[in-house]
């Protein structure tokens, strides 16, 4: 239903907010992108003030506006593109990135409160907090596109653990005394149930990427069994994306740590990059098949955070 007919329709307003957000993400001129972001925020504020709603989907999409502002600014700083047109100094831009990430995290926290399950809000909150933690470890991440955001899980893993332990997510707090194989199986079953409930094809590819992130970046320990499942999820994401490519459809993607509509070919390139990085870190599926499933995978020099690999 168009906004002109139903100005207080949450779905119509939310879609317009998302359209402005995507326009901002794709805009090459920084000053124009900020106009689009401001319009997206105005839509969100109108919904909060006029529509009397407490829906997790809207709150998350509003939070992703703020997350997108942070990542867009970060990417522009890393690319050093058109920085002369931006009247703000680099130090101020860094502070803005952290400010936007904090605003996004606050909204995701609100999403957890109003949701019956909190799956989406929790995942996005964890990624937002981890990104903030990673940026604090190396100021050069703001400056060099040639410097991959490649860090040990030790840098950001505690942040994820603290959030999930505070919620006692699937017994996370006691993982040191709990059978990790048992926890993995609970997660696998949860993924299957949630994945089976989502029928929107433009979203399913990203869903499998999110499952992979949960196992690779968030789960307290990496095992051979978990790594195999990560590679399988990513391969399934590629297969689903190829089917959309044949129909000229886009994918709602989080592969660059923000919600955006991507052509399947770009999404596939991101996932293939992830597969290559994982294989460099732990070996191929064939290599992993030869190892004991419960074997722990230690950090090494090729370690990286999957969720922000393509920023």
For the stretch 98-149, pLDDT in tens is 999 999 999 999 999 998 888 889 999 999 999 999 999 888 899 877 777 7
The whole-angstrom separation of Cα 60 and Cα 120 is 8
pLDDT at 216: 93
CB 308 within 8 A of CB 134: yes
Give, in order, the Cα–Cα distances in Å from 48 to each of 8, 41, 42, 138.
Answer: 10, 11, 10, 37
Under 8 Å between Cβ of 233 and 212: yes
Query: Does 247 share its domain with 162?
Result: yes
Q: Which of 129, 147, 165 is the last residue of a domain?
A: 147
**Residue 21 near residue 68, CB atoms below 8 Å:** yes
| CA separation for the pair 235, 174 (Å, rounded) | 32
Tracing tokens 């089917």 back to the chain, one arrives at 243
The C-alpha atoms of residue 19 and residue 15 are separated, in whole angstroms, by 6
Terminal Cα-to-Cα distance of the chain (whole angstroms): 34
How much is the average pLDDT of 9-24? 93
Type and span of the H or E element at 251: strand 251-253
Smallest Cα–Cα separation from 33: which of 268, 260, 189, 311? 260
Tell me: do 238 and 302 sit in the same domain.
yes
* Two structure tokens written together for 206: 């990203």
Q: What is the pLDDT of residues 196-237, one digit of tens each?
A: 777 778 888 999 999 999 999 988 888 899 999 999 999 999
Helices H / strands E in the chain, number of each: 11, 2
Could you say which of 124, 147, 170 is where a domain stops? 147
pLDDT above 60: residue 55? yes
Q: Does 156 share its domain with 13?
A: no
- The number of distinct structural domains making up the chain is 2
72 and 93 belong to one structural domain: yes
Per-residue pLDDT, 179: 65
Range of the domain at 302: 148-311
């Amino acid at each position: 239903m168009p906004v002109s007919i139903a100005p207080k329709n949450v779905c119509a307003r939310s879609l317009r907010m998302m359209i402005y957000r995507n326009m901002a993400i794709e805009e090459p001129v920084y000053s124009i992108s900020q106009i689009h972001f401001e319009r997206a925020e105005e839509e969100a504020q109108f919904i909060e003030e006029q529509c009397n709603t407490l829906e997790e989907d809207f709150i998350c999409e509003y939070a992703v506006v703020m997350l997108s502002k942070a990542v867009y600014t970060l990417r522009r700083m890393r690319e050093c593109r058109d920085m002369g047109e931006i009247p703000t100094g680099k130090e101020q831009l860094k502070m803005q990135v952290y400010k936007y990430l904090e605003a996004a995290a606050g909204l995701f926290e609100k999403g957890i409160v109003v949701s019956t399950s909190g799956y989406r809000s929790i995942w996005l909150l964890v990624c937002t907090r981890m990104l903030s933690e990673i940026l604090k470890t190396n100021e050069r991440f703001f400056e060099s596109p040639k410097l991959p955001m490649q860090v040990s899980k030790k840098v950001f893993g505690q942040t994820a653990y603290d959030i999930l332990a505070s919620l006692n997510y699937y017994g996370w707090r006691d993982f040191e005394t709990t059978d990790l194989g048992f926890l993995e199986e609970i997660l696998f079953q949860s993924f299957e149930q949630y994945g089976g409930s989502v029928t929107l094809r433009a979203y399913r590819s990203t869903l499998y990427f999110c499952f992979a992130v949960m196992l690779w970046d968030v789960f307290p320990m990496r095992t051979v069994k978990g790594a195999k499942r990560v590679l399988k999820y990513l391969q399934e994401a590629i297969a689903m994306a190829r089917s959309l490519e044949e129909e000229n459809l886009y994918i709602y993607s989080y592969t660059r740590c923000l919600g955006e509509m991507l052509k399947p070919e770009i999404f596939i390139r991101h996932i293939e990059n992830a597969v290559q990085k994982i294989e460099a870190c732990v070996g191929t599926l064939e290599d992993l098949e030869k190892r004991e499933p419960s074997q722990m995978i230690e950090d090494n020099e090729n370690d990286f955070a999957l969720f922000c690999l393509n920023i």
